[in-house]
Chain A
Amino acid sequence: MADATASGVSHRRLVSYIDRTREYYQALGYEHPYRWARHQSSPFQPLVKPLRESTLAIVTTASLAAPEGFSEDAPLGRKELYSMPTRPVPEWFFTQDLSWHKEATHTDDPASFFPAREFQSLVEQGRLGSLAQRSWGVPTDFSQRRTRELDAPRILEGMREDEVDVAVLVPL
């Protein structure tokens, strides 16, 4: 039992991002805490065909350029949903506006959050059918309504055009 600790724990190890967001927004002077989406259940679509015959698309929260209006002072800017060719795999993404852990890590290697190269290898090995011709970038929008009613339906439409079977969504 190499993993066992004699001392036990008094606090859980997992970070609660919901708690940290609430405390952070409070410090920013917001009157009400941000309310994250909560559901009791989830839809479920089993694979319709084997992965070796399936087309896979990637969705990221990173951008190809700084959003309009972005500044270090007010790191929000205005972002729009976008699509991009999956190949050649982008060598760089703009991520400065996203809430990744800037003291602990970096995003200089796109493969650490945008797995196109690895999935392409799996296509070449015959494990996966193909990579969709387009990948998608979604704004991490303050407005869940906008995500549900505008961005998600547009991604769905694009994925249907590209005959996508499987989507891998990677929030930073």
Chain B
Amino acid sequence: MSLVARHLEASGITTIVVGSARDIVEECAVPRFLFTDFPLGNPCGKPYDRDMQRQIAEMTLDVLESARFPQTTVQTPFAWDDEDWRETVARIDPEKLEELREMGERRRALQDETRAARVRTA
């Protein structure tokens, strides 16, 4: 998504990324980034919290207007209800290692198949 922002921006469209995976967006380097430190999934505000969603939309416009330099990150003032989610991001359960390896096998097979299909259609 950050790569799309960079492409649009370089072509004359003003962009902003609204997201919660701070390191991924900042490593890619985008013009403007409105960051909310939430678990991934609700970067525009908590589900059904219309007041927060309205504020984040307003902040998005504020950053579009106020940023003067590329790689401007602004953090919204919102916090998730608890901090436990940080520990469970992509948690690897030691008891499920075999299951994960098998899932990886299936993914790789699908990726090979997709690549082959693209080559056929190219």
Contact = CB atoms under 8 A, between A and B. Distances in A.
A115 B56 contact: yes
Given A101-B40, A169-B18, A42 B9 contact: yes
Which of B9, B57, B69 neighbours the largest number of chain A CB atoms within 10 Å of its CB? B57
Contact of B90 (A99, A115, A155, A159): A99
Contacts of A18: 23-24, 27
B4 A152 contact: yes
A12 to B, nearest CB: 10
Given A118-B44, A166-B13, A20 B6 contact: no
A155 B41 contact: no
A28 B47 contact: no
A152 B54 contact: no
A1 interface: no
B114 interface: yes
B120 interface: no
A128 B61 contact: yes
Interface string B1-37: 1111111111111111111011111011111000001
A112 B46 contact: yes
Interface residues of A, number: 81
B37 A14 contact: yes
Contacts of B45: 111-112
A172 B103 contact: no
Which of B11, B29, B44, B53 neighbours the largest number of chain A CB atoms within 10 Å of its CB? B44
A119 interface: yes
Interface string A99-116: 111111111110111110
Interface in A115-172: 115, 117-119, 121-122, 127-128, 138, 140, 142, 144, 147-148, 151-153, 155-156, 159, 164-172
B50 to A, nearest CB: 7
Interface of B: 1-19, 21-25, 27-31, 37-50, 53-54, 56-58, 60-61, 64-65, 69-71, 80, 83-86, 88-90, 92, 97, 100-101, 103-111, 114, 117
13 contacts: A17-B90, A29-B105, A39-B28, A42-B6, A45-B9, A51-B61, A78-B114, A113-B44, A118-B57, A121-B57, A127-B61, A171-B19, A172-B43
